[in-house]
Chains A and B, each alone.
Chain A
Amino acid sequence: MTHVLKIEDLHVSVGDKPILRGVNLTLNHGETHALMGPNGSGKSTLGLAIMGHPGYEVTSGSITLDGKDVLEMAPDERARAGIFMAFQRPMAIPGVKMADFLRHATTNVRRPDRKEGEELIPMREFRKELREKMEHLRMDSEFARRYVNDGFSGGEMKRAEILQLAMLQPKFAVLDETDSGLDADAVRLASESIADIGHQKMGLLIITHHDKLLEHNPPDFTHVMLGGRLVETGGKELAEELHQHGYDRIRKAYPDAEALNQKLLAEDAEEALA
Chain B
Amino acid sequence: MKNRRSEERRLTVSVACLMVVGSFAFAHGVQHRVFPGGTGVEATYDDGSPMAFCDVTVVAPGDQGNEHQTGTTDPHGRFAFIPDTNGIWNLSVDDGMGHLVTAEVQIGPNALVGSRPDTRVGRLTGGIVGVSVIFGLFGIYCLCRQNVAQTKRTGGEGESGCTSPKA
Q: Say whether A associates with B.
A: no
